[in-house]
Homo-oligomer: A and B are copies of this chain.
Amino acid sequence: MSEHILMQPVSTQSERLRKLRHDVWQANLDLQRHNLVTFTWGNVSAIDRESGLVVIKPSGVAYEDLSADNMVVVDLAGHVVEGDLNPSSDTATHLVLYRTYPHIGGVVHTHSPHATSWAQAGKAIPALGTTHADYFYGSIPCTRPLTNGEIAHDYELNTGVVIVETIAEQDPMAIPGIIVNEHGPFSWGKDAHQAVHNAVVMEVVASMALQTLQINPAVQFINQALLDKHYLRKHGANAYYGQTATNKK
């Protein structure tokens, strides 16, 4: 049982899921508020680690028709536990991330235009400045293309598999996002809210990285010492940005 739980009154699974439905619903609406989505092109999920249940947006439903009640609950194997609607078609990708990385609490996928352009170009988003370094401890990698076999069978599952292959030995919480080749961005965080936050940052740094290269095609990666400084002043034991430990990741 985590320290977090010890500090709070023990809540029942149904109470936790009710809160998670609300959080995931709001996080999906935040995709719109931050101009990350056209039509229904984005989805957010979050996991209740105690029960291993995941709350996710239903597939192809307009944001204005979403509610806490029509969020779908699935288990880590992908079976629908609660809800009358089909879960997001990308559910299998989200579940690979939750099964592989125990610290991930929320996942986001969008087709936000700047990050998606990097995905279509098949290029990692290079770490070029402190805006990037405040959230991502290095370049945001781009996966290899899926093979035809990976596309033909269990496509969404294999999208998750290739993400995990790309992250390899790195800490997924230090670079909380990735670009799926020819497709678009995925991001994550300790919860749904933070996963959306990181999706916004990815879109901003994707836009600025292209402009930076247009101004100076010979630009170098950010100085490693500056990357360290900015990342570590916001994250980890010696962080000093913000007001309290709760501001720190």
Q: Which residues of A contact B (CB under 8 A)?
A: 38-39, 41, 58-61, 85-86, 89, 111, 113-114, 116-123, 128-131, 145-146, 148, 151-152, 155, 182-184, 197, 200-201, 204, 207-216, 219, 222-223, 225-226, 229, 233, 240-243, 247
CA distance A59 to B117 in the complex (A): 33
- The count of identical subunits is 4
Given contact pairs A117-B215, A219-B120, A131 touches B184 in the complex (Cβ within 8 A)? yes
Given contact pairs A148-B223, A184-B131, A243 touches B85 in the complex (Cβ within 8 A)? yes
From residue A143, how far is it (CB to closest CB) to chain B in Å?
Answer: 12
B184 engages A129 (CB within 8 Å): yes
Q: Other than the known A119-B129, A148-B223, what 8 A-B pairs have Cβ atoms closer than 8 Å?
A: A38-B200, A111-B131, A113-B208, A116-B131, A120-B219, A130-B182, A151-B226, A182-B223
CA distance A58 to B184 in the complex (A): 35
A184 engages B130 (CB within 8 Å): yes
- CB<8 Å pairs between A and B, sample of 24: A38-B201, A38-B204, A39-B197, A58-B243, A60-B242, A60-B243, A86-B243, A89-B241, A113-B208, A116-B129, A117-B208, A120-B128, A120-B208, A122-B219, A128-B182, A129-B183, A130-B182, A130-B183, A151-B225, A152-B225, A152-B229, A182-B226, A183-B226, A210-B211
Which of B121, B211, B223, B233 sits near A114, CB closer than 8 Å? B211
CA distance A247 to B123 in the complex (A): 33
The chain B residue sitting closest to A129, CB to CB, is B120
CA distance A39 to B194 in the complex (A): 12
The chain B residue sitting closest to A197, CB to CB, is B39
B120 engages A223 (CB within 8 Å): no
CB neighbours (8 Å) of A225 from chain B are 148, 151-152
B59 engages A242 (CB within 8 Å): yes
B41 engages A223 (CB within 8 Å): no
